[in-house]
Amino acid sequence: MTENGTAEYAAEDGLPDLVRRAVAAAERTGFGWSCRPAQGRLLELLAGGVAGGAIGETGTGCGVGLAWLAAGAPPGTTLVSVERDPARHAAAAAVFADVPAVRLLLGDWTDLAVAAPFDLLVLDGGGQGKGAEPPLEPRDWLRPHGTLVIDDFTPMTSWPPTFEGEPDTARLHWLRHPDLLATELRLAPGLATVVARYTARR
Ligand SMILES: C[S@@+](CC[C@H](N)C(=O)[O-])C[C@H]1O[C@@H](n2cnc3c(N)ncnc32)[C@H](O)[C@@H]1O
């Protein structure tokens, strides 16, 4: 998790209004784990390809990543995000109060299933398979040719990639998944994201 994500916005000009509002909410509540600006710009770009479709996110935080998604999403696109922390959920709800395309759920990431399948799904708070929990199954969550984004890796410097000296099984899971065409994108010197396209038929 990127602990200084919120702080990085202090040096940013020309942010979309919704992103500025979400960053202000994160600052007010002392939430430092917002997605970094480089990741946000990627999300904005990817959302632009989801005309009239559905976007999902696990881990709303105070809504910074979701604000980038909403800023990039063409009219007619719906966005749903889930957060388990009530204070963060409330902070995000205030940010998106006047954005009817955005729906916020308070609960565990698995509750996002009520809104699946998605054309674009961003895993930032559950479903990544980074901890003890198993990763989500793309066929249950994505529309055919839908895009999956798994944030917050250290750029790989070896193959197979390693984490704390061991093969990085979470990252390898996504890069080798038989139903995905996946790659790692380096967005900043210390930041990489896995972006995958769901290729199997439902
Ligand atoms: C990295 S932060 C999300 C940042 C946010 N997406 C942004 O761009 O500003 C991860 C968030 O996921 C939430 N989270 C962690 N585990 C979760 C779970 N099992 N279900 C729902 N939310 C979860 C945390 O409370 C935290 O707010």
**How far apart are the CA of 74 and the centre of ligand 1, in A?**
25
pLDDT of residue 1: 58
Report d(CA 50, CA 103) in Å as an integer: 16
pLDDT of residue 147: 98
Residue 150, SS3?
Answer: strand
**How far apart are the CA of 1 and the centre of ligand 1, in A?**
9
Report d(CA 89, CA 73) in Å as an integer: 21
pLDDT of residue 10: 94
Instruction: Tell me the pTM.
Output: 0.96
Sign of CA dihedral 121, 100, 106, 33: positive
Report d(CA 113, CA 197) in Å as an integer: 19
pLDDT of residue 163: 86
Sign of CA dihedral 129, 132, 133, 134: positive
Residue count of the chain, please give it: 202
Q: What digits encode the pLDDT tens for the residues 84-120?
A: 999 999 999 999 999 999 999 999 999 999 999 999 9
Both structure tokens of 81: 């995000």
Q: Under a CB-based contact definition with an 8 Å cutoff, are residues 23 and 8 in contact?
A: no
Q: Is 199 exposed, middle or buried (0-12, 13-18, 19+ CB in 10 A)?
A: middle
Report d(CA 107, CA 58) in Å as an integer: 10
Question: Structural domain boundaries of the chain?
Answer: 7-198
State the average pLDDT for the chain. Answer: 95
Query: Which residues line the pocket of ligand 1, CB cutoff 6 A?
Result: 1, 33-35, 58-61, 64-65, 82-85, 88, 108-109, 124-126
Q: Give the lowest-confidence range in 35-39, 123-127, 169-173.
A: 169-173
| Residue 19's pLDDT band (cuts 50, 70, 90) | very high
**How far apart are the CA of 76 and the centre of ligand 1, in A?**
26
Q: Give the lowest-confidence range in 36-45, 62-71, 114-123, 167-176.
A: 167-176
pLDDT above 60: residue 14? yes
Q: Under a CB-based contact definition with an 8 Å cutoff, are residues 55 and 73 in contact?
A: yes
**How far apart are the CA of 5 and the centre of ligand 1, in A?**
13
φ, ψ for residue 145 (rounded to 5)? 70, 10
Which one, of 106, 180, 102, 168, lies nearest residue 138 by Cα? 180
Q: Under a CB-based contact definition with an 8 Å cutoff, are residues 96 and 152 in contact?
A: no
Neighbouring CB atoms inside 10 A of 160's CB total 13
**How far apart are the CA of 91 and the centre of ligand 1, in A?**
13
Q: Which amino acid is at 182?
A: A
- The strand ranges marked E within 47-96 are 54-58, 78-83
Mean pLDDT across 41-59: 97
Has domain 7-198 been given CATH number 3.40.50.150? yes
Q: What digits encode the pLDDT tens for the residues 128-162?
A: 987 788 999 999 999 999 999 999 899 999 999 99
Site to probe by mutation for ligand 1, drawn from 58, 66, 193 as the one with most ligand atoms within 8 Å of Cβ, is 58
Site to probe by mutation for ligand 1, drawn from 3, 9, 85, 88 as the one with most ligand atoms within 8 Å of Cβ, is 85
